[in-house]
Amino acid sequence: MESGEEEDKQEMKISIITPCHDRADFLDATITSVLNQAGDFSIQYIIQNAGNSPKVRRILDRWQNAAEDGRLPVNCRSVDLHIHHETDGGMYEGLNRGFSRADGEVFAWINSDDLYHPGAFQTVSEIFGENDDVHWLTGIPNSFNRRGSRSSFDPFTRAYSREFIRRGLYRIENADTGFGWIPQDCCFWSRDLWNKAGGRLDESMRYAADFRLWLAFADHADLVKVQSFLGGYRYHGDQITGDPANYASELPPLESPPAAFRSLHKWLSSHPKDSGLFFNLEQGKPWIDGFGLQFEWLAGRVATFNFETDRWELSLMPIL
């Protein structure tokens, strides 16, 4: 690769959308977590404010004035902040408006009470920039408390099965068989994937349009699990999505994992050392076939940082 081509390869713009509606308590911290990201990339940050709160307006005006006066923190190649005050029919309509204005190579959204971890965008830019076949990734699910301290994380969901995402199995009701959930606040995806999946969130939904989006994404790409903290969900007791029953009410009818998968999960839960019998390409296939499953259903790509090579490296890992 020529040096000029290598420089072009490293250039990346990450477009982040924040929908905002009359919640001021955590807005400054959310904005700061985006604009303080440092590394070799550019940030396009679009905030869609649909509310009428004077306090929210004062916060956003302060950031807008800082942008116009050249006082924004810039720890990357460039920062481009756009704030739009527009009424909308709900969060997902606001997000669609924001994404229609986005022109980065990588997309994501962060709600106005959630946070990105320091270094998240650098990790994202390196993985996307060095792997043309990665179009969608997520980090370790984790949460913050009201004061912004990281207070929990979910170590399970070692990797994501594209087949089982398509089937809608990654939801809380299936957690007892090894399925976690796909954390929206940790997800980043390519603009190309967004367009292939229809380029819109379902505005008829109030809670679960992200779930529908993941199903559409899985028709075109696998989900890479990054062994890093990227974004996190802030628990404060007043979220629109705070009641799991509301979210579940908009999900498709629950599909249970295949009986053969449940049997395999139960066996490996009691005999974890047997994992190596199943999850290897040379010897594992006959065992998997014996359970009536397919090997590719039971593995997904994972990005792990290699300190010797100083880069993120992809490997195939079992989902159990």
Report whether pLDDT(8) > 50: no
Indicate the pTM of the whole model. 0.94
Q: Is 42 helix (H, G, I), strand (E, B) or coil?
A: strand
* CA distances in angstroms from 5 to 8, 134, 150, 239, listed in the order given: 5, 19, 39, 45
pLDDT band at 320; cut points 50, 70, 90: confident
DSSP 296: G
Q: Over the Cα atoms of the chain, what is R_g?
A: 20
Q: Is 49 helix (H, G, I), strand (E, B) or coil?
A: strand
CATH 3.40.50.80 corresponds to the domain 11-238+253-318: no
Residue pair 28/16 in contact by the 8 Å Cβ criterion: no
CA 153 and chain centroid, separation: 15
pLDDT, one tens digit per residue, over 20-73 is 999 999 999 999 999 999 999 999 999 999 999 999 999 999 999 999 999 999
pLDDT, one tens digit per residue, over 272-286 is 888 777 776 665 566
d(CA 214, CA 195) in angstroms, rounded, equals 13
What is the chain's percent helix, strand, coil content, to nearest 5? 35, 20, 40
